[in-house]
Chain A
């Protein structure tokens, strides 16, 4: 045999290649100890919150606390909402910032990025898979809070017909659907932050930098949202509509509010995905 060209035919793509890549990425991210610890940390919130509320239920402190926290002792299902409410300002952005900021920068700093690219895998495809895995992780984070909140709430306080914010009572089944709506809305509200983190992740080979920048972005957005002087830009802030999940707990949710909140997230996703793509597909990989 004179040359190897007679040995190997032109490579063709095997069917189901994208699915294999995505599964591999999900296994890598969701099986990673650091990420599991983060999820466990979030899942501990409803446990701790439920425990504290349970222990203080017959004292003067009972029924106090912001928003939904006071309602938990009456109906365990509200532990889901209360836990999400508690995690929303910081813990959830932190967890999601770590996972999405690490997406590309983590591979770059480990040097594995260059080996992925020479396998080869197209940069756009790799970025899409990284984004999907980061979104899946964000979804898992919200879901972890919700599931543990539901189980702990049921165990501590039992599940009952749900009294909505308007004072109307709906059957438990209907209430559960409303709570599922809250969880879905919050999960979708994280997509903008994931896109921001992904973009930062393409800028650097230092994952901690991208993670920190993502978390800081969420915090700064929250701070700007409290400054009356900036009320003109408030509706466009990343975090402005996060608390609009409360719409799902009214007897007649205002779907325009819900759609508005999701629309702003979609805008952040569109802008920052485009930036991430433009950056990643042209960047030199010299790590």
Chain B
């Protein structure tokens, strides 16, 4: 495995990889439901402060269950979790005011207006200054584009408006950490873009964002880090580049007639796998080798190179490779 990848199995043992300050950390976090199902298994999350952490995984892979444990809603059956360096759920009263959260879709009182729903949450918050409550509430509504619909009953909101109100609730106070579970669910492309924009804006202001999704494409562009869940396990975690590195690059060399054999010898000589030959083109994975070393070796061996291409699989391909493909949920 290339450098920069945090192998979950290794970081879980407290290796030196996790140096900088972390906004979210879990060790061996496990949830076995009473049904016997292990929804989350031995999770070692590392979300650095200031990161936008894309928490990815297909349906039923355990993202929401993990988030519920982080927030103290569900009690882990094993392991520990820390938010902003404090243990959860014990330190919930001290930590959660600094954390904004959207968990498994928005939920509000249907017969109250959007504004009244936010007022309700503000009234519940023991740390919120009631003198600034109205201003903060209006700012949050404006920020998510609901200013004009604030007086409407929640029942009459469209799916996207509901999602936006959920985001507004998470932004009622200045936050150090935002935990957003599928925030783009139900939004139109324009709304999805706006959420991405919002996430980037918050991240620029220093807020750490943990954002879950089952669609890589939706959050790929904003993430600095990724964690990929599959069947309750964290199969990959680290800076965003690890995802690209994880996918094996291949070189494709096109030469002239009569030099295919020589080219193949050079590639083999570099320790590469047996190249796939297609006419004048040779194709091989560049296991741990810099592509420029390959081209240099070819030139040194006087192999004419008329085409040289390095291909990496798309992030989507890597993602699918890691989490498995197919319509059926794992369990």
Does A260 belong to the interface (CB within 8 Å)?
Answer: no
**B126 lies within 8 A of A13 (CB):** yes
Interface status of B78 (Cβ within 8 A of chain A): no
Does A119 touch B at the CB level, under 8 Å?
yes
Chain A residues in 8 Å Cβ range of B50: 2-4
The answer to whether A20 touches B93 (Cβ under 8 A) is no
- State the CA gap A117–B94 with chains docked (Å): 13
In-complex Cβ contact of B109 among A10, A110, A117 (8 A): A110
Cβ A115 vs Cβ B169 within 8 A: yes
Known: A10-B94, A285-B73. A119 touches B108 (CB 8 A): no
Q: Which of A3, A33, A119 contacts B49 (CB 8 A)?
A: A3
Question: B160 contacts the other chain (Cβ, under 8 Å)?
Answer: no
- Report yes or no: A24 in contact with B74, Cβ–Cβ below 8 A: no
Tell whether, in the assembled complex, residue B120 and residue A118 are in contact, meaning their CB atoms are under 8 Å apart: no
A33 to B71, CA, bound (A): 32
Q: Which chain B residue has the least Cβ–Cβ distance from A6?
A: B206
Measured between alpha carbons, how far is A12 from B98 in the docked complex, in Å? 11
> Could you tell me the distance between the alpha carbons of A7 and B173 in the complex, rounded to whole angstroms?
12
Chain B min CB distance to A145 (Å): 26
The residues of A that contact B65 with a CB separation of less than 8 Å are 286
A24 touches B73 (CB 8 A): no
Determine whether the beta carbon of B126 is less than 8 Å from that of A21: yes
Residues of chain A lying within 8 A (CB to CB) of residue B121: 115-116, 119
A5 and B205 CA atoms in complex are apart in Å by 11
By a CB distance below 8 angstroms, the chain A residues around B206 are: 1-4, 6-7
Known: A4-B208, A14-B129, A111-B107. A119 touches B21 (CB 8 A): no
A286 touches B68 (CB 8 A): yes
Check if A17 is an interface residue, CB within 8 A of chain B: yes
* CB-contact partner of A284 in B21, B74, B93, B169, under 8 A: B74
Q: Which of A4, A24, A286 has the largest count of B CB atoms less than 10 A from its CB? A: A4
> Chain B residues with Cβ under 8 A from A10's Cβ?
94
Contact of A118 among B21, B99, B127 (CB under 8 A): B99
- Residue A28 lies at the interface, judged by CB distance under 8 Å to chain B: yes
B176 x A7 contact (CB < 8 A):
yes
Q: Are B205 and A119 in contact (CB under 8 A)?
A: no
Q: Are B109 and A28 in contact (CB under 8 A)?
A: yes
B96 x A14 contact (CB < 8 A) = no
Question: Is B174 at the interface (CB under 8 A from chain A)?
Answer: yes
In the complex the two chains form, is A284's CB within 8 Å of B109's CB? no
- Contact of A110 with B93 in the complex, beta carbons under 8 Å: no
Find out whether the CB atom of A24 lies under 8 angstroms from the CB atom of B93: no
A5–B75 touching, CB < 8 Å: no
Residue B148 CB within 8 A of the other chain: no
Report B72-119 residues with CB < 8 Å from chain A CB: 72-75, 84, 92-94, 96-99, 101, 103-111, 119
Confirm or deny: B320 has a beta carbon within 8 angstroms of a beta carbon on chain A: no
Check if A147 is an interface residue, CB within 8 A of chain B: no
Contacts of B205 in A (CB 8 A): 1, 4, 7
Q: Are B127 and A13 in contact (CB under 8 A)?
A: yes
- Check A122/B93 contact, CB under 8 A, given A1-B206, A110-B110: yes
- A8 adjacent to B175 (CB under 8 Å): yes
B108 touching A4, Cβ below 8 Å: no
Interface contact A111-B72, CB-CB below 8 Å = no
Q: How far is the CA of A66 from the CA of B328 in the complex (A)?
A: 66
A residues 89-117 touching B (CB-CB < 8 Å): 110-112, 114-117
Could you tell me if A24 and B126 are in contact, using CB atoms closer than 8 angstroms?
no
Indicate whether B125 reaches chain A with its CB closer than 8 angstroms. yes
B-contact bits for A257-287, CB 8 A (1 contact / 0 none): 0000000000000000000000000101110
What B residues does A6 contact at CB under 8 A? 206
Q: For the complex, is A228 an interface residue (Cβ under 8 Å from B)?
A: no
B174 touches A7 (CB 8 A): yes
* A121 is an interface residue with CB less than 8 A from chain B: yes
Q: Does chain A have a CB within 8 A of B124?
A: yes
Q: Mark B116-156, 1 if CB is under 8 A from A, else 0.
A: 00011101111111100000000000000000000000000
Q: Give the shortest distance, in Å, between B120 (CB) and chain A (any CB).
A: 6
* Contact between chains at B126 and A5 (CB < 8 Å): no
Contact check, B108 vs A112: say whether CB atoms are below 8 A apart.
yes
**B-chain residues with CB within 8 Å of residue A111 when the two chains form the complex:** 104-107
B84, B92, B120, B207 — most chain A CB neighbours (10 Å): B120
- Could you tell me which residues of chain A, from 38 to 92, have a CB within 8 Å of some CB in chain B? none
**CB distance B74 to A119 under 8 Å?**
no
Shortest Cβ distance from B107 into A: residue: A111
Contact A115 B107, CB 8 Å, known A1-B205, A4-B207: yes
Chain B residues positioned under 8 Å from A117 (CB to CB): 71-73
A171 within 8 A of B: no
Cβ contact within 8 Å between B75 and A282: yes
Chain B residues near A118 (CB, 8 Å)? 71-73, 96, 99, 101, 103
- Nearest-CB residue, chain A, relative to B169: A115
With CB as the reference atom, state the residue of chain B lying closest to A28. Answer: B120
Inside 8 A of B73's CB, which chain A residues have their CB?
114, 117-118, 284-286
State A163–B273 Cα separation when bound (angstroms). Answer: 107
* Interface assignment of A167: CB less than 8 Å from any CB of chain B: no
CB distance from A247 to the nearest CB of B (A): 41
Please name 13 pairs of A and B residues whose Cβ atoms are closer than 8 Å in the assembled complex, sorted by A.
Answer: A4-B49, A7-B176, A11-B94, A11-B97, A21-B124, A21-B126, A23-B123, A33-B111, A111-B105, A115-B101, A284-B68, A284-B73, A286-B68
Would you list the 5 A-B pairs with minimal beta carbon distance, nearest first? A111-B107, A24-B123, A17-B126, A11-B97, A11-B127
Known: A5-B84, A14-B128, A286-B73. 8 other contacts (CB 8 A): A3-B176, A4-B50, A4-B176, A11-B98, A17-B126, A24-B120, A112-B109, A286-B74
